[in-house]
Structure 1
Amino acid sequence: MADFKHLELKIIEPTFDSPLIDLVVELEHLRRKTLSGSTHPEIFFQLKNIFHTLESIGSARIEGNNTTISEFIETKIENRPIANENIQEIRNIELAMQYVDEYVKERGVTLDLIKDIHSKIVDKLSPPPKGEGDSTPGTYRDCKVYIKGAKHIPPETNFQVKEYMENLIDFVNNDDPPKYDLLKVALAHHRFMWIHPFSNGNGRTGRLFTYAMLLKQGFNVNIGRILNPTAVFCFDRNLYNTNLSLADSGNYKDVEKWCTYVLEGLKNEIDKIDNLSDYSYLKDKILVPAIKYSLEMKYINRQESKILNKAIELQSFQNSDIQEIFPKKLSPAISRMIRELKQKNMLQSEKNNSRKYYINFANNFLIRGIIKMLAKESFIPLKE
């Protein structure tokens, strides 16, 4: 049996002709890019939550959870109680992502955050071999662990784990020049997996740790950006594991390949998802086709589809806007149609003006069409 071998954590310096240099420059441009922000904040918030859900399903899928997108979405549409641990696992990751959003904004990336993430992702789950929980939530392991399919042996003692985790968080928060920020994200993700600090749940915790680092580096939702880093890792699990294991050698070329793999995936994902901040793209490619699909599937009737299409066209509308498409109907009839769509949770009133409305596609039958169109436009790397 192999023994644990120390590996120094340090920033690599790519040569001028390395593809990593181009990726760092391009990602730096994306980080500083001002997004159009033409999408209504409430519509954007719904999209963000959908991507949090997809991120959560993807992260659980890597660990062998076979719950499909449609199965999980149906539990939300119908507001069913959590029926099994597979659903609980995905819900835990969703809640942990929401926690990370708030925590990083206030306190940055800390060891306490990592422990809190772990506690949340294993909550109410049975420890192995029955489930994907951990008998010591939020606590570093005090036993040896082995990584399936990897030659690397993680640090063996609780003292070593603590020491390496403290070193990792110092590395993440060290005041290095900004040009190293994205390299540090890739290196820190590998280091976390290399340490494997918990008895179980390291993969899910590590991916949320990566999400937290990206928020810290300025790829945040406050500027109208959606992040879906797990898409990089769950699109091809074997490729992810191969590249991750490669970096275990500590060899410069192997570490460079790992960093290139991560940054290339992030760039492609951010490029793609940034399109959703452009409302004309979102409207034409996702929202309008989703309403058409919902009508075809008889989730809504033709009258409802006309109102929802007007809501999409204007983003925020009032009673008089609907009278334009139903000129023969009186105002009370229009109000009744709007009220019925609100009762179905397909329209919501503006917070500051209860007489203005916007489309709501979260947690109702419309989300089926949204998910279908996101998949059609290659925003979803998961196969059903």
Structure 2
Amino acid sequence: MASGPDKRDSRAFEPQLISDPVEKAEVEARNGLRQYDAGIATVQSALERGGCFRLRVSLILSLHREALQGLSMFAGNFRPAGVSIEGSAHTPPDSHIVPELVEEMCDYVNANWVDATSLHPGAYLMWRLNWIHPFADGNGRTSRILSYVVMSIKTGYVLPGTPTIPDQIVERRQPYFDALDAADRSWSEGRLDLSHGGASRQHARNPAP
């Protein structure tokens, strides 16, 4: 898949399961709908329990599986090796520490769930999941739906709008990339700043991992 100024692709050593671009696009479209439906089901389940929610690694893997089923041999699994991000200066961490980092990410969201605004966990997850880059492919798709799910649960209803927030981000990727890059820079300086591009700065009780 080609990259451009408005697109960033993960580069991992993985054989393609589908080589025909038309067929691949069709599967990606179907999987996108399945991933969205799975995300909405998660929101509705949490709201039926009065908004009771704990972010678990299993949810992240499940959402990734929906997006990459039939497209990647690692669908629903963490990447087994290193990965690079074309168009980004960030180098994701080695694969052997990915599970620990994802666990820490979930712990941070859960520890700050009560006091956080609805925007903060969504912005944090969208950045942190892309920073960890735990998958060989599909990191952006998974981070966007996960952010949407968490913000909807925290707000108390499925966030409205057509196109949806994840689709709006896809349609205008550059502000999304700029926000990720700004958060990466602040993190490299030893601080967490998610304020770029409209996300609110949040001083949580527990330091972000």
TM-score, normalised relative to structure 2: 0.71
- Residues 340-359 of structure 1 mapped to structure 2, 5 A cutoff: none
CA distance in 1, matches of 2:104, 2:170: 28
- Residues 36-55 of structure 1 mapped to structure 2, 5 A cutoff: none
Q: CA deviation at 1:106?
A: 2.8
CA distance in 1, matches of 2:68, 2:113: 33
Q: Does 1:240 align with 2:176?
A: yes
Which structure carries more relative contact order (alpha carbon 8 Å, separation 6+)?
2
- Residues 1-384 of structure 1 mapped to structure 2, 5 A cutoff: 84-106=23-45, 108=53, 109-125=55-71, 134-158=72-96, 160-221=97-158, 225-226=160-161, 228-249=164-185, 250=187, 251=189, 255-258=193-196, 260-262=197-199
Change (3 A) 1:178 1:232: farther
CA distance in 1, matches of 2:74, 2:191: 37
Query: CA RMSD for the aligned pairs?
Result: 2.7
Q: CA deviation at 1:172?
A: 1.6
Change (3 A) 1:191 1:173: same
Give the number of aligned pairs.
173
Q: CA deviation at 1:240?
A: 1.8
1:285-316, Cα deviation, whole Å (9 max, x unpaired): xxxxxxxxxxxxxxxxxxxxxxxxxxxxxxxx
Q: Which has the higher helix share?
A: 1
Larger gyration radius, structure 1 or structure 2: 1
Aligned-partner residue type, residue 41 of structure 2: E
Change (3 A) 1:161 1:185: same
Q: CA deviation at 1:114?
A: 0.8
Q: Tell me the secondary structure at the aligned position of residue 184 of structure 1.
A: helix
Counterpart contact for 1:146–1:154, Cα < 8 Å: yes
Point out where structure 1 has 5 or more consecutive residues left out of the alignment.
Answer: 1-60, 65-82, 126-133, 264-384
CA distance in 2, matches of 1:114, 1:135: 17
Q: CA deviation at 1:104?
A: 3.4
CA distance in 1, matches of 2:170, 2:8: 10
